[in-house]
Amino acid sequence: MKNSKQPAVPLPEKPAFICLHKVGFAHCDPAGIVFYPRYFEMVNATVEEWFEARLGFGFARIHGAMEAAVPTASINVDFMQPSRLGEVLHFHLYVTRLGRSSLDVHIRAGGGDAAADAPLTAATTRFQMNATLVFTKKGVTGSAPWPDDLRAALEREITKQDQHDT
Amino acid sequence: MKNSKQPAVPLPEKPAFICLHKVGFAHCDPAGIVFYPRYFEMVNATVEEWFEARLGFGFARIHGAMEAAVPTASINVDFMQPSRLGEVLHFHLYVTRLGRSSLDVHIRAGGGDAAADAPLTAATTRFQMNATLVFTKKGVTGSAPWPDDLRAALEREITKQDQHDT
Amino acid sequence: MKNSKQPAVPLPEKPAFICLHKVGFAHCDPAGIVFYPRYFEMVNATVEEWFEARLGFGFARIHGAMEAAVPTASINVDFMQPSRLGEVLHFHLYVTRLGRSSLDVHIRAGGGDAAADAPLTAATTRFQMNATLVFTKKGVTGSAPWPDDLRAALEREITKQDQHDT
Amino acid sequence: MKNSKQPAVPLPEKPAFICLHKVGFAHCDPAGIVFYPRYFEMVNATVEEWFEARLGFGFARIHGAMEAAVPTASINVDFMQPSRLGEVLHFHLYVTRLGRSSLDVHIRAGGGDAAADAPLTAATTRFQMNATLVFTKKGVTGSAPWPDDLRAALEREITKQDQHDT
C-alpha cells in the first residue's frame, strides 16, 4: 500500500454525506478489480445524490431550470487498495472549503465489514481524493457565484459536519 | 479558465508519445461536453497504446503471459477547458520519472486546429495531469520491480524525449 | 412511440424480481436522455442483483469459486420512450424459459409515479427486451448445464412468479 | 457457438461502411472478454463515423445546428463468440431498409487475421445485429422525415453497396 502524496487537508469532525455503491460486473477490469474511471462515475453519483438529497438541488434541476452546471475543475487522488466484484463501498464526503463560486470536497471510499458510517482507516480505505467543483452558468464564460439558496444549503452542510454528536 | 494547482514538473523537450482520440457521443454529458470519467478511459487507452506500439508490451501480454498489471496509484489533474462532440483531441504523454517499480507520466490533451504534434498551449489545453503507475505481479502484495526488458524499453523512451530534433 | 417488433412472449403472472435504477448524469447523452448502452449496464446490474439476492449465487462467487460465467447470448429490445436525468426506473424481470444450459428472461423498465411493483403499461414502459443467458464453465467450449443447486433456485423463481397473490 | 435466432435479412453485395475498433482494457470484464454494453458503444461510434465520413452529417451538426437526433428504436443481436483484449475488430455496416423517417442497418463485427474488408464468416463473426434508427427533431413528438439532403446521402450508400466491383 502506498503512502498518500496528497497535501494534508484538515478534515471536519464527520462527513457531510455518506453514500453506498456496490461494485458490479460493469465496474471491474480483467484483473477482477474496479477499473479506476468507474470510481469517478461513483464519485459523480455521490455528489449528485448529495446535491439532491441534502442540498435540495438535483442535477436535473441544475442542468434544466437553472441552466447551470457543477463541473469538476481539479482532482487529486490516491488509489490505496483495490476493490473487488460484489463489495459494497462506503463513500464519505466532506466539504473542506466553500468559495465564492467553487467548492472543495474530500471524498474517501472504504470497504470491509465496518458500518457505513465508521471512520475509514488506512486499512479499509480504497482511495481518497480532493476535488474542486465550480458553479457555472450556461452562456457565461468561467465560473459564476453560487446562488444564495444553494450557498445557504452548502453552509448548513459545513456547520453540520463540525457538530459533535452529543 | 483556471490556473493549475499542480506542482510544476519540469517537462522533457518533447512527448514520448502522441495519441489521438475523437470525442464521440458516448463521451458527452447532457451539457454536450466530455464527462470527465471518459477522459480517463482515453488516458488509459493512450497508455495502453504507448505500451503496445512503442514499448512492445501490449496489455494482453502483460495481463496474460506475464501475469502482471500496471495499475494507476495516483492522479493529479486540472481540467482547464471543456471538449465538445466531434473534436479530435491530441494526447501528449511525457515520462517524468522512472522508479524501481513505478513510473510518473505527465499527460496533457489539447484540441483545436494545430497539428497533433504542435506544443499544447494554455489556449489549447483541455486538461493536464500527472499520474503514477506501478508494476504489480499477480499473487504478490504491493508493487514489483519493472522486468529488465520493460525497464530498458522505458529508458529508451526517456532518452528519446530529451533529444533535440536537429 | 413505436410498436414493438418483438415476438410476443407470454409473460407470467408477476415478475420474479424488481430492481430500481436511478438515472444519473453518467447515463445521459447530449440530448439529456439515457444513452442506450447505459441501459444494458442497468440490465446487467439487475440480473446480477437477482442472482445474488434471490438465487443466492453472486457474480463474485460464479466468476470466482465456481469458475463459471453467465454471458448474454442474444438480445431483442425495443426502446419505446426516452428516460431522463433524475428519474427512478423500475426494472421488472420475468423468467420465460429455463433450458438445460440457458435461460430466457424478459426485462422491461418503466418510469413515472406508479409504485415500483405496479404493472408497466404502454404509457410507462421505456424499453422491453427478451434476452437469452447461458451458463459457461472456464476452459469448456460452449455452454454447460446449470449446476443442480442453481437450477433448483431458478425453478423456484419460475414457480413463484406464477403464483397468484391471494 | 450458438445459431442465430435473428430473422434472416437479405444482405447487399458489400457493406456500406467498414470501421475498426480495437478492444481495450476499458471494454473488458473480469472474464477478460468484451463486456457486451461496450460493444454497443463501438456500434454507436461506427454509426457516428459513418454519418460523418460518408454521409457528411456529423453528430455534432445533427445535435447542434439541425436540432435533431438519430436514436435507436430497436435492436436484435446475437453474440456468437467472445472478443479479447488487444484484438482489432472489423465492424461491417449494411443498410437494409430506408423508410420515411427510419433506417434499418445490419452490423456484424469480426476478428481474426483476415483483411478488414474480407467477408465475415461464421468462424470469425463475434456478433451480428439488426437495428432500426429513427430521425427525430427537437420539440417534435415521435419521428420526423429524413431531410432531403440526408435522405439523398443515404440513398447513395444503398446504391453503392449493391454495385459489383467490376
Instruction: Choose, out of B40, B59, B143, the residue to mutate when testing the contact with A (most A CBs < 10 Å).
Output: B40
Chains that touch A (3 or more CB pairs under 8 A): B, C, D
pLDDT band at A9 (very low <50, low <70, confident <90, very high): confident
Cα radius of gyration (chain C): 16
Instruction: State the pTM of this model.
Output: 0.94
Q: Do C74 and D69 touch (CB under 8 A)?
A: no
**Given CA atoms A15, A19, A24, A27 in this order, what sign does their dihedral have?**
negative
Which amino acid belongs to residue C83?
S
B35 touches chain C (CB under 8 A): yes
- pLDDT at position B66, please? 97
**D35 lies within 8 A of chain A by CB:** yes
- DSSP letters of A56-112? S--HHHHHTTT-EE--EEEEEEEE-S--BTTPEEEEEEEEEEE-SSEEEEEEEEE-S
- Greatest pairwise CA separation for chain B in angstroms: 47
- pLDDT for D2 equals 42
Write the residue in C37, C74, C82 that is nearest to D40 by C-beta.
C37
Q: Which residues of chain D neighbour B42 with C-beta distances below 8 Å?
A: none
CB of D163 closer than 8 Å to CB of D19: no
Q: Which of D52, D85, D91 to mutate to test the interface with B (most CBs of B within 10 A)?
A: D85
Strands (E) located in C10-146: 17-22, 68-69, 72-79, 88-98, 102-110, 125-134, 136-137
Q: Chain D residue with minimal CA distance to A84?
A: D30
Please state whether C86 falls in left (phi above 0), alpha (psi between -120 and 50) or beta.
left
Which residues of chain A make contact with C44, given a CB cutoff of 8 A? 24-26
Confidence (pLDDT) at D32: 87
CA dihedral A110, A154, C23, B21 (to 10 degrees): -80
pLDDT-based confidence at residue D163 (cuts at 50, 70, 90): confident
Flag whether residue A8 sits within 8 Å of chain D, measured between CB atoms: no
Within an 8 Å CB–CB cutoff, is residue B26 touching chain C? yes
R_g of chain A computed on alpha carbons = 16
Which amino acid, one-letter code, is at D100? R
The span from the CA of D130 to the CA of C57, in Å, is: 33
Residues B116, B113: Cα–Cα separation, whole Å? 9
- Minimal Cα distance from A39: which residue of B? B37
pLDDT value at residue B2 = 42
Least confident span in A30-34, A44-48, B58-62: A30-34
Place of cell 440526408: D150
Q: What angle do CA B139, B143, B149 make, to 5 degrees?
A: 95
Mark yes or no for CB contact C76/D75 under 8 Å: yes
- Candidates C28, C57, C31; CA nearest to C149 is C57
Domains and CATH numbers, chain B: 17-162 (3.10.129.10)
Question: Residue B58: its chain D contacts at CB < 8 A?
Answer: 86
Q: Please give the share of chain A, as a percent, with pLDDT higher than 90.
A: 79
Mean pLDDT throughout D14-38? Answer: 95
Please judge whether A28 and D26 are an interchain contact, meaning their C-beta atoms are less than 8 angstroms apart: no
Q: Say if B73 is an interface residue toward chain A (CB within 8 Å).
A: yes
Give the gyration radius of chain D's Cα atoms. Answer: 16
Average pLDDT, whole number, for chain D?
A: 92
The confidence score (pLDDT) of residue D35 equals: 98
pLDDT of D5 reads: 56
Q: Can you give the C-alpha Rg of chain B in angstroms?
A: 16
Place of cell 529488465: B148
The answer to whether residue A1 scores a pLDDT higher than 80 is no
Residues from chain B that touch C26, judged by Cβ atoms under 8 A, are: 29, 35, 37
Task: Determine the pLDDT at residue C164.
Answer: 66
Given a contact cutoff of 8 angstroms between Cβ atoms, the answer to whether A18 and A90 are in contact is yes
Nearest CA in chain B to D43: B26
Residue A130 has pLDDT above 50, yes or no: yes
List B149's β-bridge partners, or say none. none
Cβ separation B86–D45 shorter than 8 A: no
Tens-digit pLDDT profile for chain C (166 aa)? 344 555 567 889 899 999 999 999 999 998 889 999 999 999 999 999 999 999 999 999 999 999 999 999 999 999 999 999 999 999 999 999 999 999 999 999 999 888 888 989 888 999 999 999 999 999 898 999 999 999 999 999 999 998 865 5
Mean pLDDT by 10 residues, chain B (166 residues): 57 94 96 95 98 97 96 97 96 97 97 87 93 95 96 96 72
Q: To the nearest whole percent, how much of chain A has pLDDT over 70? A: 93
Judge whether D85 is closer than 8 Å to chain A, CB to CB.
yes
* Integer Cα distance of A142 and B137 in angstroms: 45
Residue whose C-alpha cell is 427537437: D138
How is residue A146 annotated by DSSP?
P
Question: Hey, are the CB atoms on A78 and B77 less than 8 Å from each other?
Answer: no
**Above pLDDT 90, what percent of chain D?**
79
Q: Do C32 and B35 touch (CB under 8 A)?
A: no
Residue A3 — very low, low, confident or very high, per pLDDT cuts 50/70/90? very low
Chain-chain contact of A44 with C58 (C-beta, under 8 angstroms): no
- Quick check: A63 and B30 in contact, CB under 8 A? yes
Which residues on B lie below 8 Å from A37 (Cβ)?
Answer: 37-38, 40-41, 44
Return contacts of D123-126, CB within 8 angstroms, 24+ apart. Answer: D125/D80, D125/D81, D126/D34, D126/D79, D126/D80, D126/D81, D126/D82, D126/D83, D126/D89
**Backbone φ, ψ for residue D160 (5° rounding):** -60, -40
